[in-house]
Amino acid sequence: MAVNNVSLLLQSTQLTLDDEVKILNGLLMGLDRIRLSWDLILIEATEVAKNLKFDKIMFTVKRTRKKIIPDETADYNHEEASKNFECNVFNVALDNLTSQMRSRFKVIEEECSKFSFLWSLQKSQTDQELGLKAENLAKLYREDLCKNEFSDEVRHFFSVRRNILASEKPIELLKEVYAKRLHSIFPQVCVSLRTFLTLPVSTSEGERSFSKLAIIKDYLRSTIGQEHCAT
């Protein structure tokens, strides 16, 4: 359910990259909590099974066959099977999902960190650090930002911002700059903010269009040829 909710959130056209970082971080923390909650999940599943009139939850465990002596009943070790399912199915599935999410999160977080100094109000940031971050960003967008001018502009922007600009979200900060008619004073800051805000909240995996692809390419679509679809 949590993964599905995040998938739906990522399809929002109003979402920005900094929002995605927060959402994915929250999802990863949630998955870590789920991984540590097997006993609670098993208890809840057992209660649901009782309500559905099942005697008990049975786990399929791959094991060697044991020859049964006549008049001896087959022994099913529920605790052993439960532990086996937890280690070899539940934990493995969550670890694979978490690993993929962390690799995705790392890429998005690194991209966001290149711009985040623009709206961060960390008092520990010195003018020298701001200038260095501005220069690094300008190197990535040479056609849009002039390294020396942008560095000086960022320093000036923060000296003004600490007094009259309070927004800590990039989109709200950009709106505030325009509302107070400061865009002509800080043109390159506005360009860098607009650049960040237009970065897509998706990768080549195509999260935004994933739900539509699921509708288009269902099992019926998979059973007919492309030539038939084109006619």
* Mean pLDDT value across residues 16-41: 86
Backbone angles phi, psi at 14, to 5 degrees: -90, -5
Instruction: State how far the Cα of 37 lies from the Cα of 51, in Å rounded to an integer.
Output: 21
* Mean pLDDT value across residues 23-49: 86
Is residue 31 within 8 Å of residue 23, measured between CB atoms? no
* Mean pLDDT value across residues 216-229: 51
Is residue 155 within 8 Å of residue 203, measured between CB atoms? no
* Mean pLDDT value across residues 144-170: 88
Looking at the chain, how many residues does it have? 231
Instruction: State how far the Cα of 20 lies from the Cα of 155, in Å rounded to an integer.
Output: 27
pLDDT value of residue 138: 92
Average pLDDT, the chain: 78
Q: Is it the case that residue 206 has pLDDT exceeding 50?
A: no
Q: Is it the case that residue 226 has pLDDT exceeding 60?
A: no
| Whole-angstrom Cα Rg for the chain | 27
pLDDT value of residue 76: 44
All residues at 6 or more sequence positions from 94 whose CB lies less than 8 Å from its CB, including other chains: 31, 34, 35
* Mean pLDDT value across residues 150-172: 88
Q: Is it the case that residue 210 has pLDDT exceeding 90?
A: no
Instruction: Look at the pTM and tell me if it is higher than 0.85.
Output: no
pLDDT-based confidence at 31, cuts 50/70/90?
Answer: confident
Most confident of 65-74, 92-101, 102-111, 188-197: 188-197
Of 211 and 10, the structure prediction assigns the larger pLDDT to 10
* Mean pLDDT value across residues 108-119: 89
Query: How much of the chain exceeds pLDDT 90, in percent?
Result: 21
pLDDT digits (tens, 9 = 90+) for 50-67: 888 776 666 655 555 555
Give the rounded distance of the alpha carbon of 181 from its chain centre.
35
pLDDT value of residue 120: 84
